[in-house]
Every structure is written in C-alpha cells, then in structure tokens.
Chain A
Amino acid sequence: MALPVRRTVAALFRPTCSSLKNLEAVLDVRHPGPLYLPVRTKKRFFIPPAVGTKVDNQDNQEDPEAMARAAGIVFRQEYMERPINISSSAGVFDPYIPPEGDARLSSLSKEGLKQRTEQIRQTAASQLAIRKIKEHDPEFTTKGFAEKAQEIFIEAHNALTHFNKEQLHSLVTERCYPEMTRGNRYKTIRWRFVESLEPPKVVHARCPDMVSKGNLYGQVTVRMHSKQTLAVYDRFGRLMLGSEDQPKDVLEYLVLERHLVNPYGRWRLHGKIVPSWAPAKDPIIKTVMIPGPDLKPWEEFDAVGYQVPKPEAVQWNK
C-alpha cells in the first residue's frame, strides 16, 4: 500500500521539480539558499566543559599574563593619562576678602562712608589687572561689566533650573560646573530672581597667568545684593529646601573668568566667595543624624554635657 503511494508521489514530484526549474528559468526568480540543511552527523547533545581536571589550577594563578598571551588575547596599551582643561583655571587666585558688615551698614552713616571710600579706592593690583584686561578686551568697563555679570548669573541659574547642559557650559566654567550640578541630577530646582536691591559692582580683579608666561586668565569679582527665591525638590517631588513664595535677601560675591588670550573666550561664572562672617544658611526640612563621639567599650555617652561640634567660620570660595 505504501510503496505504490510513494511511487505515485515521487512520480508527481519529479515533473514538479522540472516544471519549477523551467518556471524559474523563464521568470528569472532568484531564491536564497535554504538556511536549515539537514546534516546526518549533527551533534544533538551537550557536554558541559570539565573544570579542574584538564588544566592544573596552580598554573592559572601563577602566571595569568602568560596564559592570556598563549590564548592570543591582546590588550591595548594602557595610557596613564589625566585630562587637563585649559579653557578655565583651577581656582580663584588671590581671593577678595570682603570686609565685615558689608551689607549691614548703610552709606549714610560714618562707618558706611569709610567703607565705601575704601572700596572705591581699589588696590593697585586690581587696577593693574583691569588695565591688562582692557588691553585684550577693549570693550571692558567696570560699570558695564557689572551689569553683564548679573545677566550672566541670572541666565546661568535659569539654565540650571531647566538643566540645559549646553547653555550652562557656555555660561559657566568647567571648574564651576560640577560644583553647581553635583547631586542635582535627580532633583528639581525652582529658582527665581525677584529684584536687585543694589546695583552690582566690580570690587576685585586679578590677572593670573598659568603654566606659561603669556597665558592670561582674567578673574573679576562682582558684588551683588539681590532678592531671590529658591526651592529644591527631591526625586519624589517633596520639598527639601527653601520655599517658592518667600524671597530672601542675598549678598553674593561672584567671580567671573575669561581666558583672555583665547579670541573665542567669554566671560563665564567661575565661582562664589562666601565670607567668614556670612550668616548660617537655613536648615533642610529633614532631621539628620549627627554621629556621636567615638567611645571606648567601657565608656558611656553623656548626652547632657555634649555639644554638637560647629564648623569654624572661615572664608571659602565655592
């Protein structure tokens, strides 16, 4: 029964193959080769690799380099390099030391007048530096620059709230960028510049040259007194710091820098100077655990007489 059926099927298929070939030749149809070729000797079982019997474990641990070389693995040459950025200097040189009680005294009182006269008669080094800056940048004026500095400040902080990386890089130097953005990746910042209480003023200027003699960088310190609102929200949208409705008076000393020798250099925010007499910042809306003193096993902790250590009041530039 099977044999005659097979023969008829074979008989049917023989003409189909020839007719197919004829058809293909006529119509010029191309078929790609079949992907699955049945091979009689295909391996159908899986033997996992035996571990620990063939190769002696001792050899492996003694000389892994030789084993890797023998196996033919080539490692690329490792370069001990550290990238340096030339477009901004690494810090604030000869920082401006703001006089104590800067914002608290008004210009009408005697102490205030004395302070103002001292500030107006700037030191010789600042004048020299301003002259050098004017050589490279002829449009530099102390008054115009102060206004521009405030604009740069506002734009940079707006870019920070929207986290516009390209704009932020163009407004802020490479040294300042990580300080501004550290820890902010998963936080929402809402910042608003309400108004400026006093017109911004240039108080300090320096022109250090790095590495080689002619490589000039100009650093100018600008004093700003303004009202701002700041609110920081964490990853889940909960308020961490500040408030959106309550503006605060802020006295800031901004440092702007420009690579003078570079024709495409721009004045960018380089850092802030926080004076030693600055009032303490508002605490965050969270209770933080401060680690206690290190105790030996036999000692006990005396909570009554313990005072939380306070950081010392030192001027630092951010």
Chain B
Amino acid sequence: MATAMTGRGMAFIRNVSGTLISRLQVLGGGPQQLSCLHTSSSLSSAKWEKKNRMMFPPQLPDEPRRPAEVYHCRRQIKYSKDKMWYLAKMIRGMSIDQAIAQLEFNDKKGAKIMKEVLLEAQEMAVRSHNVEYKSNLYLAESYTGKGTYLKRIRYHGRGMFGIMDKVYCHYFVKLVEGSPPKTEERTSLDQAKEYVQGLKNRTIIHGL
C-alpha cells in the first residue's frame, strides 16, 4: 500500500505531516513563543489608587499654577453598575458641594455610598494633597465599573434553574482643584444653523 502512491499523494502527505509537526511544536512550546497573546491577565488591578502617587517636577515661578488632582475609588459596592451609572452621569462636571447636595437628597441606594466616597476624597485632598479650600474642587471624572460577581442558583419550575448574578460595582472619581468648567449650551437652532452652513460650504468639483 505504501508503494502504490502517486506524486500528488506524496506532496499531500508531506504537507499534512508538516502542519501536524508545526502544530504540535506550537502546543508544546507554549504561549511564550507567540507574541500576540496578552501577558498580564488578572481580574483585580489597582491602577486608580496608584494614580495618586504621581509626582510632578517643581514649577517655575512664571508657569501657571498646576491644579491639584485627587483620585479616589471604592471597590465592590453591592449595587448594579448600570444603576450606579445614572448617578455618576448626573454629578459629572459639577462642583463638589453641588454634587454632595444632589446626592444627599437622591432616593437611590447608590447615592448614599457615592456621597461617602466624595466626602472621603475631599478630606484626603485637604489633608494630604495640599488643596487649599475644600469647596474649590470639581468632579472631572466619575464613572462606574463592573466588580467581581458571585453566582448563585435561581430555581425555576419543572426542575429548571438559572444562574443568578450577585452584582457588585466599583466607583471611580477624580477631583480637580478649581471652579467647574463652563460647558457651552448649544440650542437646536444653533445646531440647525451649523448644518445648513455645512451644506452651503460644499464645493462642487468637475461641474459646469
């Protein structure tokens, strides 16, 4: 049987054996040989806390004063990240006093936790980050992230079950010294005018 083979058959065999050998080599060599794989894979990373350790060189007297930035976060809050997002979006860009006032009178569960986080961050800023006035801060960034979920069984009828997620979320906040930046209010009329202007600015090429 081995002797009765055509030339094409032999080429096919050589290809197959070549791919098999290379595949086995790849399996044996492991992920170090491939450079396109991610090398750091861990669920818990503490990058936000490390941002507070950034040092800047001393400023020259003619440079504008650099505003202080304070990063704070709280991990594994027992709340949904989507529900928390509504509150985070609401206070984005507000001054810290306004944000604390809004959260105090909000009925959601996440509002109480968020207010604690903001007060902690304010205290930290005044005590260890050389912020002069505790009201002179505004929220530059505030967003939520997914925490590590616990999985439980949710029992349905007829012996069926579903996997229930016990949701946790993280909340990140960055306070910057200064008054909050003014966002320009664009009305619909302005937007319509800009659209019409864009249409008028078109140039017709290769036309008569």
Contacts and interface: CB of A to CB of B under 8 A. Distances in A.
A14 B16 CA distance: 12
Chain A interface helix/strand/loop/mixed = loop
A18 B21 CA distance: 15
Given A23-B17, A34-B27, A238-B130, A12 B66 contact: no
Interface stretch (A45-53, A56-64, A291-299): A45-53
Given A15-B5, A15-B13, A237-B66, A48 B55 contact: no
A46 B149 CA distance: 15
Contacts of A287: 132-133
A234 B9 CA distance: 76
B17 A186 contact: no
B151 A186 contact: no
A48 B153 contact: yes
Given A16-B16, A48-B152, A287-B132, A235 B55 contact: yes
A305 interface: no
Given A20-B17, A48-B152, A188 B58 contact: yes
A47 B163 CA distance: 7
Interface residues of A, number: 33
A48 B151 contact: yes
B130 A237 contact: no
A31 B13 CA distance: 18
Interface string B149-161: 0111100000001
B66 A238 contact: yes
Contacts of A237: 56-59, 66
A51 B58 contact: no
A233 B163 CA distance: 54
Contact of B54 (A18, A235, A240): A235
Interface in B105-155: 129-130, 132-133, 150-153
A12 B9 contact: yes
A75 interface: no
Contact of B20 (A15, A20, A46, A50): A20
A244 B55 CA distance: 20
Nearest to A189: B58
B24 A16 contact: no
The listed residue with most A CB atoms (<10 A of its CB), out of B12, B25, B28, B54, is B28
Nearest to A183: B128
Contacts of B27: 32, 34-36
Interface string B48-78: 0000011111110000011111000000000
A46 B163 contact: yes
B37 interface: no
B177 to A, nearest CB: 9
Nearest to A23: B17
B46 interface: no
A133 to B, nearest CB: 42
A23 B10 CA distance: 13
A15 to B, nearest CB: 5
Contact of B1 (A14, A31, A51, A239): A14
B13 A16 contact: yes
B13 A48 contact: no
A170 interface: no
A104 B46 CA distance: 55
B54 A238 contact: no
A287 B53 CA distance: 24
Contact of B129 (A34, A46, A188, A235): A235
A29 B21 contact: yes
A286 interface: yes
Contacts of A31: 21, 24-25, 28
Contacts of A35: 27
Given A50-B153, A186-B53, A188-B58, A240 B130 contact: yes
B101 interface: no
A167 interface: no
A47 B153 contact: yes
Contact of A186 (B12, B20, B55, B132): B55
A48 B130 contact: no
B132 to A, nearest CB: 5
A168 B24 CA distance: 57
Nearest to A186: B55
Given A188-B55, A238-B65, 15 more contacts: A31-B24, A31-B25, A32-B24, A47-B153, A48-B150, A48-B163, A186-B53, A186-B55, A233-B59, A236-B56, A237-B56, A237-B57, A237-B58, A240-B130, A287-B132
Interface of A: 12, 14-16, 18-20, 23, 29, 31-32, 34-36, 46-48, 50-51, 186, 188, 190, 231, 233-240, 286-287
